[in-house]
Structures are given as structure tokens and as C-alpha cells.
Amino acid sequence: MSMIHIDPLEKRWLWAIGGMLAIFWGVQIYYAAAENMHPPSNVEVIDSAKLHLSGEFAEDNLGVKKEADGSYTVTMVAARYGFYPQEIEVPAKTPVKLRIASFDVLHGVHVPFSNMNTMVVPGYVSEVHTEFQTPGSFPMICNEYCGLGHDYMYSKLHVTAGKS
């Protein structure tokens, strides 16, 4: 029966907090819906110590492949201190699936201004789906500290003018 008393100052802060939550949540929903930015959800285990011996991540099988549906699959290995192959080329405005596995320790792979950003955890295959809009050359950088050479761990991504 008694009304709850809330101090006016407290009330103002409640509104401020509510407003901030709405902004943060709105930003997340916007980027998820409009920019296709999601936490990577692929869960697939692999034996990192045997990557090089056979299969998808053996040296001869790395690189860019064109699929029957016109999309591209990029298969890479992250290892101290580089991403292999060290240069890749894909067309713009075309679906690209990146599959990457670590040969040794935890790495991250990030292409600035794109949704390509994932941790590369030893023992798992990381998969990212993306589509590059702008032709040009971009760095593909490691964003998880992996040792003394971490700062120099990068590859080059070339995006060519694709179909318009």
C-alpha cells in the first residue's frame, strides 16, 4: 500500500542507465543484422599436431578454391608467425568462406573493416563467412598475443574487382 519512494536523482540515473543499455543493445543488433557480425559459431575439432600430415590443412591443400556455386573457400593455417599462404586473392562481392586452423598456439585473424575476425584456437577449425565489398589490398593481422613475433604476424588479402 505504501508507494515506493525513489529519489529524483536516482530516477534520473535509472533513465540514464536504461538509455545506455538501449544504445548498446541497439548497436549490437544493428551490426548483427546489417553487417553480419556474429560470434563465430563453428565447432569442429582437429588434431593441431597432425595438421601438416594429410587432409584439408596439409600444405598442398591450402589456398583459395572456387566452389561449384561460384563462392570461394579459403583454407589457411596460422602458425608462429604468419598465416599461410601468406597472400590470398578473392573477388569482391562474392561469398567467401574462410577455414583456418592453428598449428601451434592461440592466434586470432582479423581483417579491419570487415566481419572477418575470429580466434584461432589450437585443436579447433575456425570458420568465417564474409563478402568483401571493396577491391584493394588489406592486411590480415593476428590479434591474439602469440609470442615475440606477434606484432609481425600478418598476411595480405587482395580483393579483386568481382562481378558488379
Provide the binding-site residues for ligand CUA, judged by CB under 6 A. 107, 142, 144-146, 150, 153
| Least distance from ligand CUA to the Cβ atom of residue 85, Å | 16
| Least distance from ligand CUA to the Cβ atom of residue 149, Å | 8
| Least distance from ligand CUA to the Cβ atom of residue 153, Å | 4
The candidate with the shortest Cα–Cα distance to 108, out of 99, 119, 122, is 119
> In terms of CB distance, is 75 or 155 closer to ligand CUA?
155
| Least distance from ligand CUA to the Cβ atom of residue 107, Å | 4
> In terms of CB distance, is 92 or 105 closer to ligand CUA?
105
> In terms of CB distance, is 81 or 138 closer to ligand CUA?
81
> In terms of CB distance, is 100 or 146 closer to ligand CUA?
146
- Cα separation of 97 and 75, whole Å? 8
